Amino acid sequence: MTVIKTSRPVLRRVPISAGADAIFQVLQEDGCVIIEGFLTPEQVRAFNAEVDPHLKKWELGQGSMQEGYLANMKQLSSLPLFSKTFRDDLMNHEILHEICKKAFGPETGDYWLTTSSVLETDPGYPGQELHREHDGIPICTTLGRESPETMLNFLTALTEFTEENGATRVLPGSHLWEDFSKSVPADQALPAEMRPGDAVLFSGKTLHGAGKNQSKDFLRRGFPLIMQSCQFTPVEASVAIPRSLVETMTPLAQKMVGWRSVSAKGVEIWTYDLKDLAKGLQLKSDQPLKKEIGNGVH
């Protein structure tokens, strides 16, 4: 009898200096890749400083639909409101956009931000079952591995990510399974151990889930930055962002948060009177921040 040896999957790492082509190649092959140095140390420090005061006063409302999900976790959403680093650096991140163009452009056209939140998990956080980002789009689940790429998650560490403190677990190769209804225990996935500023990038078809925070006192902090084909509605609406704040952003960043029209394989959508949304709104860009926006904006 022949015994076939199978090797444990490996979560590969690529430095950001290797460029988008090298990163995208691993993403296609494995469904996931750790990008070392996705953010600089200066960007990590600035981002943490911007969100710190808001996380400290964050409270989960009674009866929240996400009460179970957010046990032992704080979640700060609407990041463009709170973080200049997010608006200026992440929404204009060169490597992010090069990868997104490769992933979405050939099949579905433009892309935009669907959601992003800073997540801080306390000791005792129980972790998640493995799931796929595109599970919320039934047609993608039905098509399985034959589905076009609909989502990419650039999940970025703002603190150390270790197996002990609950580093997100991903399962390389699961984007190519024939049967997407198959479930496996979380411990079969690999912990994405990272330094602050690293990001684990994975396809919307790749199984993943937050790990258990088994540390005594470590608050693990990171943020999923999920980009999505423009042919699907974002999870997060952009209506809460004041226009005067949006107008401080670049045209590219404005499009990412839904304030400009997008091209779905040559068909303009998200328009104003069938015109480009920005033109219809007479939207400005790259303007100085106005003081009257308020203390909650950085």
Instruction: Give the list of residues 6+ apart from residue 32 with CB closer than 8 angstroms, or none.
Output: 11, 170, 171, 172, 175, 192, 200, 201, 202, 203, 206, 208
Q: For the whole model, what pTM was predicted?
A: 0.92
Task: Calculate the average pLDDT of the chain.
Answer: 91
Under 8 Å between Cβ of 72 and 121: yes
E strand or H helix that includes residue 44: helix 41-56
Considering the domain boundaries, does residue 116 fall inside one? yes
CATH of the domain at 122: 2.60.120.620
Considering the domain boundaries, does residue 246 fall inside one? no
How many whole angstroms separate alpha carbon 221 and alpha carbon 208?
17
Instruction: Give the list of residues 6+ apart from residue 21 with CB closer than 8 angstroms, or none.
Output: none
Mean pLDDT of 95-121: 97
**pLDDT-derived band of residue 1, with 50, 70 and 90 as boundaries?**
very low
Q: What per-residue confidence (pLDDT) applies to 7?
A: 57
Q: What per-residue confidence (pLDDT) applies to 289?
A: 87
Q: What per-residue confidence (pLDDT) applies to 70?
A: 64
Considering the domain boundaries, does residue 251 fall inside one? no
How many whole angstroms separate alpha carbon 55 and alpha carbon 74?
7
Give residue-wise pLDDT tens across range 115-168. Answer: 999 999 999 999 999 999 999 899 998 999 999 999 999 999 999 999 999 999
The C-alpha R_g of the chain, in whole angstroms, comes to 19
Which residue range forms the structural domain that includes residue 40? 19-58+65-240
Q: What per-residue confidence (pLDDT) applies to 297?
A: 60
Considering the domain boundaries, does residue 2 fall inside one? no
If one counts the domains in the chain, the total is 1
Considering the domain boundaries, does residue 35 fall inside one? yes
How many whole angstroms separate alpha carbon 162 and alpha carbon 167?
5
Considering the domain boundaries, does residue 220 fall inside one? yes
Considering the domain boundaries, does residue 255 fall inside one? no
Give residue-wise pLDDT tens across range 262-289. Answer: 999 989 999 999 999 999 999 999 999 8
Considering the domain boundaries, does residue 219 fall inside one? yes
Q: What per-residue confidence (pLDDT) applies to 71?
A: 73
Q: Using the Cα atoms of residue 42, residue 47, residue 53 and residue 57 in order, give the sign of their dihedral.
A: negative
**pLDDT-derived band of residue 6, with 50, 70 and 90 as boundaries?**
very low
Name the residue among 22, 31, 286, 280 with its Cα closest to residue 152.
31
